Chain A
C-alpha cells in the first residue's frame, strides 16, 4: 500500500514537472512568434490616426450652402456647455437675419463633450475629427469667430436653416420657405 502511494506521488510529481515545463516552453514559443506579428503602434507624427467621422474634436462653425453663417445666436450651445467655455453675442443684420457678433470658445476649458453640437438647432456648431490643437501659449487656445468659422457645410450638406424655417427675413417672406404653404387667412371663412 505504501509502495503504491509512493509510486503515485512520483507519477504525480513527474506529471506536474512535465506539464509545467511544457506550458513554460509553449508560452515562450508563443511570445517568440509575436516577432512576426504586425505591430500595433501608429508612428504618430509621420503616420496619422484614422479617426471615425463622429470623432469629437475641434469645434467649428459651419455655413449653409449659400455660404451664409448658419449660427443664429440662440445661446443654446453656451447654455448647454457644462464648463461654460462658449461665449457669444447675437445681433441682427439689415435683413433681420440673426448672427453672432462675436463667438468665442476657450479650448483650454472645453472638454469636447459635444453637448453644444447636440443643442444647436441649426447644425451650425459641429465637432470634427481633429485633435492637433497643441499650443505653447495658453492664450492661443481661445478661438475667436474667425478661427472657428469654416467655409463649408460640415456634416450636414445642403441644410439651410432660413430656407426651411418659417421666419420672415429680407428676401423671404412668410410662406416662401421650402415645403411651406402660404399662410392661411384665419379671418376668412373659406376652408
Chain B
C-alpha cells in the first residue's frame, strides 16, 4: 500500500461522492424502471435526461416547507435529519479501495448495525411527530419491520465474521483474496440481501410507506426539503447496503488488475443498486403479516442454521473439535 491519503480528502471525497450519487440514483432508478417497462423515462433535460435531478432538487427547494400545526415541531424537524445522518455515518466504515476508508474501526460491522438501528428512529419519530393516523400506522409498521429484520441482518453477517475472524471491513475484504465469501456464505448473502432490502424499506418491503394503503406512510406530512431528506436517505441506504454486500460477499475492491480497485468497487456496487431497482420493478408488496411471518419463520431459522453450520465446519477444520472431551 502507498502512503496514507490525507483523511480530510477522504472525508470530503466520500461526502461529495455520496451526496452526488444519492440524487443521481433517482435519475438512474427512473431510467432503469422505464427500461424495464418499455419506456424511456426522463430523457429531455440534458444528456440522457440527467439534469432532471437538478430540476427535481430546485423544485423541492422551492416547495413550501410546511410544518403541520398539530405536529410536534422539534421532533418533526429532527426526524428527517436522523435518517441522513445515520446512513452517512454508516459509510464511515466502508472501504472503497485499499486505504480509502474514513476510519478503519475494528468493530466495523457492529458500528454499521448500530447506525442502521438508529435509522429506525427517524421513521418512528417522523411518524409519531406528524400526529397523523396514516403516518403513525406507517411508523408502527416501520418499527416492527426494522427491528425484526435487524435481528437476522446481524446474524446473517456472523458467518462472514467467523470466516474472516474480524469485524473490520478492510480485513474482511482482504481475506477474500482467495475466494469471495458469496460462495461459502451463499445463504448468508441471500439473507443479508433480503434483510438489507427490508432495512432500506425498498419496494418489496416498503410496508412503512405503502402508498396504496397509507398515502405515504411515515412521511405523509412531510414536504419540501424535509421530504427530500427522507428521499436522499432512502437512496443513500440503497447505496450503503449495496456497498456492504460488495464488501462482505463480493470481494470489495478486489478484481483483475486492468481496472483500478475503486472502479471495481463502484462497478460491483452499481450492479447491486441495479438489482434493488429490478426488485422494485418486478415484485409486488407482501401483506404486513406475511412480511413478519417470512422474517421470523423462514429467514431467522435459516440464518441461525447457517451460523451454526459455518461454526461447526470451522471448528472441524481447525481441529479444535478433537480436543473436546465428552
Contacts and interface: CB of A to CB of B under 8 A. Distances in A.
Interface of A: 17, 24, 27-28, 30-32, 34-35, 37-41, 43
A31 B281 contact: yes
Contacts of A38: 38
A39 B278 contact: no
B106 interface: no
Contacts of B37: 34
Nearest to A42: B40
A22 B37 CA distance: 22
Classify chain B's interface size: 10 to 19
B282 interface: yes
The DSSP consensus for interface residues of chain B is helix
A160 B36 CA distance: 54
Interface string B248-289: 000000000000000000000000000000110111000000
Contact of A31 (B39, B40, B278): B278
Given A17-B298, A28-B278, A34 B38 contact: yes
B35 interface: yes
A27 B283 contact: yes
Interface of B: 35-40, 278-279, 281-283, 298
A27 B284 CA distance: 10
A41 B40 contact: yes
A28 B279 contact: yes
Contacts of B278: 28, 31-32
A61 B38 CA distance: 40
Contact of A40 (B38, B279, B282, B298): B38
A37 B279 CA distance: 18
Given A30-B282, A40-B39, 7 more contacts: A27-B283, A28-B283, A31-B278, A34-B35, A35-B36, A38-B38, A43-B40
Contacts of A43: 40
Contacts of B283: 24, 27-28
12 contacts: A17-B298, A24-B283, A27-B283, A31-B36, A31-B281, A32-B278, A34-B35, A34-B38, A39-B39, A40-B38, A41-B39, A43-B40
Nearest to B284: A27
A27 B283 CA distance: 8
Contacts of A24: 283
Given A17-B298, A24-B283, A27-B283, A32 B36 contact: yes
A88 B89 CA distance: 74
